[in-house]
Amino acid sequence: MDDFIGDFVGNKGDLWGGKRYNALAAHLRRQFGNKIVKVGLDAGCSCPNRDGNVGTGGCLFCSPRGSGDFAGDSRAGIAEQYEEVRRRTLVKWPQARYIAYFQSYTSTYGDPARLARLMREASLLPDVVGTVLATRPDCLGDEVMEVLTNPLTTPLWLEIGLQTIHDSSLEIMNRGHDFACFLNALERLKPYNIPVCAHIVLGLPWETRGMMIETARRVALLPLQGVKIHALYIIKGSELGRIWQRRKESSSFGVDVEDGYKGGEGGDRRAGEGRDGDGRDGEEKGQVVWEDSWKLLSRQEYVELAADVLEILPAHFIIHRLTGDGRYKDVMAPTWTLAKWELLNAIDREMERRGSRQGGTTENRPLAVFC
Ligand code: SF4
């Protein structure tokens, strides 16, 4: 397990594959000496924020596929989903190894015995060297912990959704948990030595830059091994997408709704009683209304913000992602998020221009202090 947590790579760019941040791809190549491909899988899990246990509408930004839009099809089994990706990958990278990534919905939710079977099945897939489980902080009970520490399965990462440290934002997002819940999950995970990656999102339209920076600063102090950073994009079928569409159709919209902020201020199979099912929209239910003060980040704003956040995060945090990219046909705004490689290159150039690197502003700080 320790091997999978990864080495502390300090701040040497050469160890980071020439990057100015500790990217997952380079980290995995160092660890396994090979190209490692993450295979998104949909194990047919549900989510307590959709089935009524915690909530019924899901998170504001969540897609109808439980934020697993690039994962396989749950109607096929895990092995079939995996083989489909592996077959394609082998053509380009015959030596590649794989990580089984249970991406869709909340993979530790539901029957722990089922989770145990899934993890075992993933471990037995050919050329799999590890597993990543995407989950929520409130779905890590004692029985789940037992399963996660099963020595017969491949090394494990947990990817836990946090999104932001601000409870007011979590409430607007309808996350169904607060920041304290995330801290509690980390505390409970401590004895198990399971590497944890926190998922955060930059560009929530009601958050100020200061709030996003504050999230980075607090996250930097947590006992984490990785961070996954997403640029918010609005996706069809999400509640945010519905709100956005209404605003787009409204004559009062003062922004370029296709490309995001341009200046100025101004049938889910597992959804239970989901938003689609009750025929009402968020505004009618009095949940969320797009405020005129809300705005989406421009591409340049995101580039600068991502660079700021990288400078804040300590060098030993592995950066699992630096942006998010939805399916072309599904992303409503901002459309610059679709050009993933251009965006990543722009962040590289911004770090270069600054002469900075990950952890550049945190060198003298303790590496992991639980707050
Ligand atoms: S917890 Fe995850 S799967 Fe559930 S509604 Fe939120 S983003 Fe979607």
pLDDT per residue rounded down to tens, the chain (371 residues)? 334 434 333 444 466 888 999 999 999 999 999 999 999 999 889 999 999 999 988 999 998 766 656 666 767 789 999 999 999 889 999 999 999 999 989 999 999 999 999 999 999 999 999 999 999 999 999 999 999 988 778 889 999 999 999 999 999 999 999 999 999 999 999 999 899 999 999 999 999 999 999 999 999 999 999 999 999 999 999 999 999 998 888 755 544 444 443 333 333 334 333 333 333 344 444 468 888 888 999 999 999 999 999 999 999 999 999 997 788 899 999 999 999 999 999 999 999 999 999 999 754 444 443 32
Q: Output DSSP code: residue 369.
A: -
Is the CB of 174 inside a 6 Å radius of any atom of ligand 1?
no
Question: Which residue lies with its CA nearest to atom 6 of ligand 1?
Answer: 59
Is the CB of 155 inside a 6 Å radius of any atom of ligand 1?
no
Q: How far is 210 from 193, CA to CA, in rounded Å?
A: 32
SS3 268: coil
pLDDT of residue 326: 85
Residue 302 is assigned to a structural domain of this protein: yes
Nearest residue to 138 via CA among 179, 100, 104:
179
Is the CB of 68 inside a 6 Å radius of any atom of ligand 1?
no
Is the CB of 66 inside a 6 Å radius of any atom of ligand 1?
yes
Q: What are the b/e assignments for 211-220, b being 16+ CB within 10 Å? A: ebebbbbbbb
Residue 126 is assigned to a structural domain of this protein: yes
Q: How far is the CA of 27 from the centre of ligand 1 (A)?
A: 28
Is the CB of 201 inside a 6 Å radius of any atom of ligand 1?
no
Q: What is the CATH number of the domain that holds 120?
A: 3.80.30.30
Q: How far is the CA of 182 from the centre of ligand 1 (A)?
A: 15
pLDDT of residue 75: 72
Residue 361 is assigned to a structural domain of this protein: no
Residue 335 is assigned to a structural domain of this protein: yes
pLDDT of residue 299: 97
Q: How far is the CA of 275 from the centre of ligand 1 (A)?
A: 13
The model's pTM is 0.85
pLDDT of residue 43: 87
Residue 363 is assigned to a structural domain of this protein: no
Is the CB of 62 inside a 6 Å radius of any atom of ligand 1?
yes
Is the CB of 59 inside a 6 Å radius of any atom of ligand 1?
yes
The CA-based diameter of the chain, rounded to the nearest angstrom, is 59
Q: Please list the residues that pair with 71 across neighbouring strands.
A: none
SS3 299: helix
Please say whether the beta carbons of 288 and 282 come within 8 A.
yes
Please say whether the beta carbons of 72 and 82 come within 8 A.
yes
pLDDT of residue 14: 64
Range of the domain at 267: 2-354
Number of folded domains that form the chain = 1
Residue 293 is assigned to a structural domain of this protein: yes
Residue 362 is assigned to a structural domain of this protein: no
Sequence-separated contacts (24+) of 245-254 with Cβ below 8 Å:
245/332, 246/281, 246/283, 246/290, 247/290, 248/332, 252/292, 254/292
Q: Please list the residues that pair with 101 across neighbouring strands.
A: 40, 132
